[in-house]
Amino acid sequence: AQSVAQPEDQVNVAEGNPLTVKCTYSVSGNPYLFWYVQYPNRGLQFLLKYITGDNLVKGSYGFEAEFNKSQTSFHLKKPSALVSDSALYFCAVGYNFNKFYFGSGTKLNVKP
Amino acid sequence: GAGVSQSPSNKVTEKGKDVELRCDPISGHTALYWYRQSLGQGLEFLIYFQGNSAPDKSGLPSDRFSAERTGGSVSTLTIQRTQQEDSAVYLCASSLGGGAGPYNEQFFGPGTRLTVL
């Protein structure tokens, strides 16, 4: 069965420190991987995606993610966190017939 | 340009009543998705449309749920005989779709918060 796991419900980081939000996936065939962010009282917004090519993908707001096929992971990273990055982050995998599986979300708290 | 819009933004209904939720996708987007987001949960995929066709309805939770899309644009998600467990935020998203399939990013609407008393 296809699935996405975000093992951390919450990640706390100090402003200026690097951040990582973890995601692992299970899918038959080639995975199409996405990260979305949901700010308070706002809709989900696309951050970045991996389809093929370079394992390191760069996206909006200085975020990047690394696709690791052997570990079936697609962790979201940022070298220096901002307080404004505090939000709910969702990892997703695209599958057959345009079906998408989303993780349960990770709440990122960046403290000044 | 205009984004994805959904109406109503909030809906409170009594158990057993039927509700209709509406989604207006971005103009030109042929793919349209419905999701359900329960409190503390991730997004649950419900159904996908390519044009007016829904090739996979297996995500719909029960036969009380149905969806249609007309003219390749507006979509309606209908829940019949609502139950308390149907309370959630219902999100709609659209994307370019077509042959590119799951490559395309989705643009989400603000959601409809459904409360079943």
Average confidence (pLDDT) per 10 residues, chain B, 117 residues: 90 97 93 88 87 85 94 94 96 81 83 96
Q: Could you give the CA distance from residue A111 to residue A108 in angstroms, rounded to a whole number?
A: 10
The residue among A19, A16, A12, A7 whose CA lies nearest residue A71 is A7
Please write the tens of the pLDDT for every residue from A16-43.
999 999 999 998 888 889 999 998 878 8
Interface test with B, best of A44, A91, A102 (most B CBs within 10 A): A44
Token pair of A4 as six digits: 């996405």
pLDDT of B1:
55
pLDDT of B107:
93
Q: Could you give the CA distance from residue B25 to residue B28 in angstroms, rounded to a whole number?
A: 8
| A94·B107 Cβ contact <8 A | no
pLDDT of A31:
84
Do residues B24 and B110 lie in contact, with contact meaning Cβ atoms separated by under 8 Å? no
Interface test with B, best of A32, A41, A98 (most B CBs within 10 A): A98
Residue in B50, B97, B103 nearest the CB of A32: B103
Residue B105 buriedness (CB in 10 A; 0-12 / 13-18 / 19+): middle
Q: Could you give the CA distance from residue B66 to residue B93 in angstroms, rounded to a whole number?
A: 17
Output phi, psi for A17, to 5 deg. -85, 155
Q: Could you give the CA distance from residue A103 to residue A3 in angstroms, rounded to a whole number?
A: 8
pLDDT of B60:
93
Lowest mean pLDDT among A43-52, A93-102, B78-87: A93-102
